[in-house]
Amino acid sequence: MTDTRFARMKDLPSTHWLGAGTPMCAGCGGLQALHQIYDILGNKTVFVNAAGCMTLLSIYPFTPFRGSWLYTAMGSAPAGAQGIRDALDILLEQKHIPPEEDLTTVVLSGDGSAYGMGVSATSGAIDRGLDFLYICYDNEGYGNTGQQFSAGAKTSTSKGPRGYPGYKKDLFALWAANKPAYVATVIGAEPLDLARKIEKATQLKGSRLIIALSPCPTGWDFDPKESTEIGRLAVKTGVWPLKEYQDGRVSHTKIPKERLPVEDYLKVQGRFAHLFEPVRNEAMLAEIQQRIDDYWADVV
């Protein structure tokens, strides 16, 4: 990105320039959610970016954000956020900066870091009561290195007839067990639900998590133009529950009145094609459907 282009872009709303000029994938569900989140957070933010897909947003010496950006190793973004928050608090206390120059500290991480190698640092940050917002864009795999795992899916490291045989961790429950200020799930395909939760998160103090399911055309194998529809199907089939945790209580913000069959969501993604062709894997499809049915049976 040249200086001239950056100068021209920086005066536009973020919806026009977030990701422009960077090698992000077309139809990225994570970027779709981040567009909406940043429009609400505004300029006074400092992003602490764990290594991952969104690292490509920043091309030295520029970032697409009007605030600040710090790149960290994959597992240490919450530790980086602690240092930034401490530094800001010291500057405020010593009156080196006025309150209006304070910044919201935001961790931006993929699920590889959030669910895996970053859990220890994250748990420590919550225990210390760190005042930060953690945004996880969840594309259900290590996207930068070939989309390693996802339940039932064929990936770069699970190419057998069943695909990956396990299921991902429940990051929502892991965070809630630490009793943070707020946890919520969102998806870019449901912008009103997303906006309400980000607005709520910005009004709270303490550790707050937003998990955004992020349909990934390259990793999930679908046409980029279908990204929003696949996001909607994730909600309509019950695969991605929209919910929030606050004050020890979990509540669902959108309950599908009549859930669609899970295969409506699976069959439009190439990563699950082996469950339908050349022979339908009825046992695996039934297992996935049953897990979703069991979840919602406890909700409604």
Share of the chain above pLDDT 70, in %: 84
Sign of CA dihedral 262, 110, 133, 44: negative
Question: Which pLDDT score, from 0 to 100, does residue 261 have?
Answer: 98
Question: What would the pLDDT profile of 257-271 be if each residue is shown by its tens digit?
Answer: 899 999 999 999 998
Indicate which CATH number applies to the domain containing 23.
Answer: 3.40.50.970
Range of 93's domain? Answer: 3-297
The pLDDT confidence band at residue 98, using thresholds 50, 70 and 90, is: very high
Write down the pLDDT at residue 58: 83
Query: Sorting pLDDT into bands at 50, 70 and 90, what band is 21?
Result: very low
The predicted model scores a pTM of 0.87
Is there a cis peptide before residue 61, judged by omega within 30 degrees of 0?
yes
Question: Which residues are within 8 A (CB) of 151 and not within 5 positions of it... i.e. 6 or more apart?
Answer: 140, 163, 164, 166, 167, 168, 288
Residue 164 confidence (pLDDT) above 80: no
Other beta carbons within 10 Å of 281 = 18
pLDDT by residue (tens digit) across 104-143?
A: 999 999 988 888 888 888 999 999 999 999 999 999 876 6
Q: What is the pLDDT of residue 231?
A: 98
Look-up: residue for tokens 């969840």? 138
Specify the number of domains making up the chain. 1
β partners of residue 251: 244
Residue-wise pLDDT for 177-196, tens only, equals 999 999 999 999 999 999 99
Sheet strands side by side (includes 132-138): 68-72, 45-50, 104-110, 132-138, 207-213, 182-187, 242-246, 249-254
DSSP code of residue 132: E
